[in-house]
């Protein structure tokens, strides 16, 4: 069943025009906007800004656009992966998160080594004033992908990003992710890691494709080669994009 959003009944839809200018942006990013029974509908996309009249009555009508913008703003959890603690490197990563224009909703240090004294990690995080958690594996030989999957299973945000200890991002990076999804209405599920950023994952895609858990391609795609296996979420999404002839699974280049 195709996803669609019907504009009738939305407080921002007046005179067959979207007051937020979303119709044009949706069309630019692959959706189809058509008029049906005197109203428009968006085929292929869900509009997170659709609000009924009852919602508007609860707020100051002069600020409705600002209110809905705040409600749909992307929440991002940031996971900092480490196997050996380098306090200076961890501090650099934490500092870059403190400097974000749009703060992460949660910072999790994925400490993939139960022998590390985590009180030193807590000290750095306490001083940051960020909302944080420290995850420590039950066993020492967990792989990076498995450790990240255990942490991501608790995700309560729209997006998560994985950074290595010492890696930093530009101060506007998380704000740009939000702008891409919620203002420009770009469609993507995964942004590969580079030196300037960690991998960025749309959490619903992580759930749908079972994260980084290894599996045969045929278990997900009946027509796939029986000898083909997936060893990461990125591999699954790259194949899915080709399988469905869709270019939005992996974001190539900047968003």
Gyration radius (Cα) of the chain, Å? 21
The pLDDT of residue 49 is 97
pLDDT digits (tens, 9 = 90+) for 165-209: 999 999 999 999 999 999 999 999 999 999 889 999 999 999 999
CA distances (Å), origin 23, targets 2, 27, 42, 68, 79? 18, 6, 8, 17, 34
Name residue 34's beta-bridge partners: 41
The pLDDT of residue 187 is 92
* Three-state secondary structure call for residue 164: strand
pLDDT digits (tens, 9 = 90+) for 135-167: 998 776 789 999 999 999 999 999 999 999 999
The pLDDT of residue 253 is 67
Q: How many residues does the chain have?
A: 255
* Residue ranges of domains in the chain, CATH in brackets: 4-72 (no CATH), 76-207 (3.90.550.10)
Judge contact between 202 and 180, C-beta under 8 A.
Answer: no
Q: Which regions in the chain score pLDDT beneath 70?
A: 1, 140, 253-255
Among candidate residues 132, 115, 114, the one with its CA nearest the CA of residue 123: 132
Question: CB atoms < 10 A from the CB of 24, how many?
Answer: 11
The pLDDT of residue 254 is 61
């Amino acid at each position: 069943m195709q996803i669609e959003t019907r504009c009738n009944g939305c407080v921002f839809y007046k005179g067959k025009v979207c007051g937020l200018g979303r119709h044009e942006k949706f069309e630019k990013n692959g959706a189809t906007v058509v008029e049906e029974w005197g109203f428009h509908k968006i085929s292929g996309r869900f509009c997170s800004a659709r609000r009924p009249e009852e919602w508007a009555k609860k707020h100051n009508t002069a600020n409705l656009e600002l209110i809905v913008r705040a409600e749909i703003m992307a929440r991002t959890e940031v996971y900092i992966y480490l196997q050996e603690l380098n306090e200076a490197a961890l501090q650099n990563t934490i500092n870059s998160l403190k400097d974000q224009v749009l703060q992460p909703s949660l910072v999790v240090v994925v400490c993939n080594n139960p022998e590390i004294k985590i009180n030193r990690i807590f000290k750095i995080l306490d001083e940051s004033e960020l909302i944080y958690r420290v995850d420590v594996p039950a066993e020492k030989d967990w792989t990076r992908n498995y450790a990240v999957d255990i942490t991501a299973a608790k995700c309560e945000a729209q997006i998560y990003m994985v950074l290595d200890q010492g890696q930093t991002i530009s101060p506007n990076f998380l704000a740009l992710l939000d702008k891409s999804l919620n203002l420009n209405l770009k469609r993507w599920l995964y942004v590969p890691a580079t030196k300037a950023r960690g991998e960025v994952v749309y959490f619903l895609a992580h759930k749908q494709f079972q994260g980084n858990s290894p599996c045969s391609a045929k278990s997900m795609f009946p027509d796939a080669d029986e000898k083909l296996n997936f060893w990461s979420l990125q591999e699954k999404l790259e194949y899915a994009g080709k399988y469905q002839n869709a270019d939005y699974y992996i974001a190539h280049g900047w968003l």
